[in-house]
Amino acid sequence: MNYSPLLRPLAFLACTSAVLFAQTAAPLPGTQPLTIEGDLSAQMVAGIGRYLDRETERAAAARPARWKELGADAARKLVRQRLGMVDPTMSGGLETFAPLGAESSPDFVHVRWPVFDGVQGEGLLLDSVGPTKATVIAVPDADQPPETWSFAWRLREQGCAVLVPALVDRRDKFSGSALLNRWVNQPHREWIYRQAFEAGRTLTGYEVQTVLSAREALGMENVGIAGYGEGGLLALHAAALDPKFTAALVGGYFGPRERLWSEPIYRNTFGTLRDFADAELATLIAPRTLIVEHSTAPVPAPLERKGRPPTPGEIATPTLAEVRTEVERAGVPITLTESEEPSLRAFTTALGIDAPLKPQRIVPDLAFPNDERQQRIVRGLEDHTQRLLRDSDVTRNASDLWTKIKDRAAWPAVQTEARRSFWEETIGKLPTDFLPPNPRSRVVIEKEKWTGYDLMLDVHPDLFAWGVLLVPKDLKPGERRPVVVCQHGLEGVPMDTITDDKTAKAYAPYKAFAARLAERGFIVFAPHNPYRGQDAFRTLQRKAQPLGWSLFTFINAQHDVITRWLAAQPFVDPERIGFYGLSYGGKSAMRIPAVIDRYCLSICSGDFNEWVLKNGSVTYTSSYMFAGEYEIFEWDLAHTFNYAEMALLIAPRPFMVERGHDDGVGTSEWVGYEMGKVLRGYSKLGVPDRAEIEWFDGPHTINGVGTFKFLHKHLRWPEPR
């Protein structure tokens, strides 16, 4: 029988006896019997995937109306925001220079120009054959050196002066740190993307700014832009953002973006698919000329360096029908071609060049030190981004969370707004019209002092919560006890936190801390968080981020329902529900209680960090820049919420960090720096006794000493004698 929340307490009491939970295979009172078939973890991940697929389709259907309401100026501002184009662009003209080993000629010069602080664009400037009739910025694919792109040389033959920028390529020669002598098999484009995303920037945004700066440096009137592959992506965005481009030609790129998650990760953007895709960008180019050439997308060469498999992602060529559909969806005049000849003819005509096309000529074999140029470009963007990450502390310290923390009257409203921003704009928030929880359970483990139940709750269609609930056997009728939610880490399952088999792999990090707490008389719930299945769960993050969501969008919704259900149980004190997580569970301890205030305290074990640098630093050996967790990067945490700011969202509720000096997840120095800010914040709020850190001489593991005392103290439950 499925009892309503109001009737459930009566139903529960009707099922009680002198010992509330006898050793029985019956489900938990007030729940339906649970039958489990197959791998629940895999089913959870698959269900979230289906949810995201549906939401992506809904976003595409709703996008045109949202876009139409904006207007051109607001739309361009939004595009810049989504691409992280917030760095002030520096003014300046083209500067010719002679790289060592580069061939020179009266027909071309090598040039550079300022983009933003510490970053210059580089490229090749071709003089036109005969009088200059127009100027073109021709952007090749990422792996095409400017000197070798035949299309640019054809434009020169037609009377165009042509600037060909060099892009960050897809090799991996400079992906890594000479200081650490540590290198990774990430394409240069991903190497920059990872650190930039954490700083609220994108590689696309960096390179669009490079193109727009080149447009300003040229200072000409009749300037067109053409691009292929990655250059096509940049040409589309640049022409949409700068109305001064006369015409645009996009080849090897234009098409539907609903599978953005399957493209190379360096194309990833946060929230864009809610607002725009290629068709919407095309509307910002109209009524200027836009030519879309349906041509085969570039095929990147294999990476040279061996190691862990690189981040999944491929550049696929859309079908002509798919491109035509996207063209039609734009609803503005677009010329669709299928080869270079008609594309070139339409483009030069739009630039006012009325002359027959000259035949393809052999591109001269120019000597140029491309490796040195690529190293300059990669290191320039890397240095700029690293400065952003290092200096981001200044931005966070200037936020209202810190500047108004002394104002006891105003600060609660500041915290409420910050929590809203964190949940809705950083994490992403699902609608709260949850399904009825429909609790189902079964006995899964029996111990002397407690019974363990598999428990499932419905959240949204295709989204459910699951975990193991440990109920002490000495629970008295009518008694309400505190709950500790014990969260597993990466690739874990609930039972990992419970097993007391010392030969089990999970025992070493978890020390059966969920079971130990149940033995102490706490009710314990060990939920499953869906960070399991390697690329399967990481794909969820890839699908979620273009929608402005994340993996924790779903995890937070699950915990919202979990805590609602727990708080409604007659054996639970709803004011005493605490959270304790290790590793990825510690990551959860920072993000879940920050927004789910039914958690009255939080303990972060084996994760608390100077999180921004942990993610993006290129000089720290355990940085995620060198790791396989490509889903770990979160949009612009650097300028919004590091771990100290997340802790302030938890405040004034008790907060604790458990830190082993030998835990490779970070350094004690970094942890101490960030925790110092937390302790200062709690002191300013007048509750210094509610924030603690326990240091112990050990590795990445539950220590269970100070944290257990912390739980007994703040959950007001007596310690065992």
**What is the Cα–Cα distance from 661 to 659, expressed in whole angstroms?**
6
pLDDT at 26 over 80: no
Contact status, residue 435 vs residue 459, Cβ threshold 8 Å: yes
Residue 229 has pLDDT above 50, yes or no: yes
Cβ neighbours, 10 Å, residue 409: 7
Using the predicted structure, report yes or no on whether residue 312 has a pLDDT greater than 90: yes
Closest CA to 143 of 375, 374, 381, 382: 374
Rounded to whole angstroms, how far apart are CA atoms 700 and 660? 6
Task: Please check whether the two domains, 71-356 and 410-714, share a CATH topology.
Answer: yes
Q: Are 171 and 304 within 8 A, CB to CB?
A: yes
Q: What is the 3-state secondary structure (H, E, C) of 156-220?
A: HHCCEEEEEECCCCCCCCCCEECCCCEECCCCHHHHHHHHHHHCCCCHHHHHHHHHHHHHHHHCC
Distance between CA atoms of residues 408 and 507, nearest Å: 44
Residue-level pLDDT at 1: 27
Binning pLDDT at 50, 70 and 90, where does residue 308 land?
confident
Q: Are 257 and 279 in contact (CB under 8 A)?
A: no
Where in the chain are the domains?
71-356, 410-714
Query: For the structural domain made of 71-356, what CATH number should be given?
Result: 3.40.50.1820
Lowest mean per-residue pLDDT among 101-110, 372-381, 484-493: 101-110
Q: Please tell me the distance from the alpha carbon of residue 270 to that of residue 248, in angstroms, as a whole number.
A: 25
For domain 410-714, give the CATH number: 3.40.50.1820
For the segment 588-617, the average pLDDT, to the nearest whole number, is 98
Is residue 325 scored above 70 in pLDDT? yes
Mean pLDDT check: name the lowest of 47-51, 219-223, 592-596. 219-223
- Report the pLDDT value the prediction gives residue 90, as an integer from 0 to 100: 87
| 401, 668, 197, 318 alpha-carbon torsion, rounded to 10° | -140
Q: Provide the pLDDT confidence category of residue 25 given band limits of 50, 70 and 90.
A: low
pLDDT value of residue 100: 82
**pLDDT at 9 (0 to 100):** 33
Q: Which of 125, 282, 279, 268 is nearest to 205 (CA)?
A: 268
Task: With CA atoms as reference, report the closest residue to 124 among 102, 108, 137, 142.
Answer: 108
Give kind and range of the element (H or E) at residue 96. Answer: strand 95-96
Dihedral sign (CA 655, 658, 661, 665):
negative
Distance, in Å, from the CA atom of 60 to the CA atom of 68, rounded to the nearest integer, reads: 13
pLDDT higher than 50, residue 4: no
pLDDT tens profile 167-184:
999 999 999 999 999 999
442: helix, strand or coil: strand
Q: Under a CB-based contact definition with an 8 Å cutoff, are residues 149 and 138 in contact?
A: yes
Q: At how many degrees (to 10) do helices 535-544 and 40-70 cross?
A: 20
Query: Structure tokens of 279?
Result: 């068709």
For residue 55, report the phi and psi dihedrals to the nearest 5 degrees.
Answer: -65, -35
330 vs 362, residue with greater confidence: 330
* Residue 646 main-chain phi, psi, to 5 deg: -65, -40
C-alpha closest to that of 231 among 244, 212, 246, 250: 250
Nearest to 172 by CA among 346, 50, 57, 301: 301
Residue 103 has pLDDT above 90, yes or no: no
Average pLDDT of 671-677? 98
Q: Strand 176-177 relative to strand 182-183: parallel, antiparallel, unpaired?
A: antiparallel
Contact 241, 235 (CB under 8 A): no
Tokens matching residue 208: 């669009």
Instruction: Reply yes or no on whether the pLDDT at 158 is more than 50.
Output: yes
Say whether pLDDT at 622 is over 90.
yes
Of the pLDDT bands very low, low, confident and very high (cuts 50, 70, 90), residue 438 is: very high
Tell me the per-residue pLDDT of 544-558, one tens digit each, with 9 for 90 and over: 999 999 999 999 999
Residue 297, pLDDT > 90, answer yes
Q: Does residue 404 sit in helix, strand or coil?
A: coil
Cα–Cα distance, 288 to 224 (Å, whole number): 10
Does the pTM exceed 0.75?
Answer: yes
Bridge partners, residue 291, by sequence? 249, 335
Q: What is the DSSP string of 93-117?
A: --EE---TT---BTTEEEEEEEEET
The helix/strand/coil state of 102 is: coil
- Residue 422 Cα to chain centre, angstroms: 14
Across 492-505, average pLDDT:
97
Residue 561 has pLDDT above 90, yes or no: yes
